[in-house]
Each structure stands twice: as structure tokens, then as C-alpha cells.
Amino acid sequence: MNLPEAINWEAFFKRARFHITVDALSGLPPDDRMEVAFAGRSNAGKSSAINSLTMRQRLAFSSKTPGRTQHINYFSLEEEGYLVDLPGYGYAEVPKSVKLHWQRLLADYLATRMALSGLVLLMDIRHPLTVLDQQLLQWFAPRKRPVIVLLTKSDKLSRSVRLQTAGMVRKELGNMGLPLSVIPFSSVNREGVEEAREVIGSLWRPLAQRVSV
């Protein structure tokens, strides 16, 4: 991989293409290309965020019906690796057996996937850091890899409340000892889209350096 100094992140993410859908860890692609996963409660706006970052209308299927993304969806960035849309959690109407299946899948994936270089955690800015969000972070934290928090649907709140919430989340998660970014984000008015592209895209840099040594 050869990432130049000044990167056009928009072009970088625009190359995303649907790759594969899986519902068991045994179906994942080989664990040898870098990937960044998008996780969050059902309806938090994961699929919408992936569409906004990649400038694709319906790359990841977004829906008014919570629990729409029930599998792990891989989007390939050509030889650079993958963006991974994880199943949303916390949707009350899902049968318990299905919930347990997802929970197992998420926990195992977050704890063991070698290629996973960073986690994008999406939380509705009006309801950040639920118990399930914190549980997810606990599964991922031992990896000591970067967490990028997108506080979604930021168009729903005033600027002062957006900043206040971002500050609170930064403070709450600051003591986890992980590289952390917290970005108010809206797929509607595109607040935070460029910043998110840059911060998420930069996860590819260390790999470029490692490869070039």
C-alpha cells in the first residue's frame, strides 16, 4: 500500500463497493486486510453514516425499521481493505435467541478479529453511552485500538447542546486509555462528515508506514 502525504479522503471512501454479507464468523473474509467496523444501537444511523462517508445513496441499506442490518456487511475499499457494517444491538422486538446470537457474534468479532484496526461507535447524540454501548466498548477496549465516536443525528440538537454532549462523552470515555475521537455527525446536514473521513481514513496511515519499512 502506498498512501501519499496529502490524501483526498472523499475519493478514498468513494471507492467503497459492496463485498459480502455474513452471519457467522466462519464466513468472514480472510483476516489479512485492514478493516474498520461501524457499531451502534439499532437505528443509531450506521448505514446512513456509511452512505454519507462513501457518497453512495444506498450502499449500506438504511431504514426506518430498526434492526434492519441483521448481518455483518463488508464493503471493500479496493486493495486498502474494508468498512464493516455490524448488526445493530438493543432492538427490543428481536427474539431472545437472535439477540444472543448477535451478541456472541459481536463480542467474538471485536475481541478476536486481527484485521480490525479501529472501531467507529455510532450513538444517537440524544441518547449517548447506553449500557449496551458501554458493554461493546468493554469487549473492544483490551485491543487498545482507536475508537471514533460519531454522535449521530446532530441536526436534532442546538449547537451548544451538541458541544456539551461531545464534551461529556469525551470525558466519560477519556479514562479508558484508548486513542479516542468524538465527532458530532449528521447524515442530513453533513456536519462532521469530512472530519470523520479524515479521522477514520488516518487509521490506514500506520499500516502504510509499517508496510513501507
Ligand X SMILES: Nc1nc2c(ncn2[C@@H]2O[C@H](COP(=O)(O)OP(=O)(O)OP(=O)(O)O)[C@@H](O)[C@H]2O)c(=O)[nH]1
- Determine the interface stretch with Mg ion among 2-10, 44-52, 73-81, 141-149 (rule: CB under 5 A): 44-52
Q: Considering the rule CB under 6 A, would residue 21 count as an interface residue with ligand X?
A: no
Q: Is the dihedral of CA 82, 1, 118, 9 positive or negative?
A: negative
CB 21 within 8 A of CB 73: yes
Interaction between residue 47 and Mg ion (CB under 5 A): yes
| Per-residue binding letters, 108-137, with ligand X (x by CB under 6 A) | ------------------------------
Sequence-ordered list of residues with C-beta below 8 angstroms from that of 146, at least 6 positions apart, any chain: 117, 118, 119, 178, 179, 180, 181, 203
Phi-psi region of 100 (alpha: psi -120 to 50; beta: other; left: phi over 0): alpha
**Euclidean distance between CA atoms 26 and 171, whole angstroms:** 37
> Considering the rule CB under 5 A, would residue 69 count as an interface residue with Mg ion?
yes
Binding mask 36-75 for ligand X (x = CB under 6 A): ----x-xxxxxxx-------------xxx-xxxx------
40 binds, among ligand X, Mg ion, none (CB under 5 to 8 A by kind): ligand X
The reply to whether 187 sits near ligand X by the rule CB under 6 A is: yes
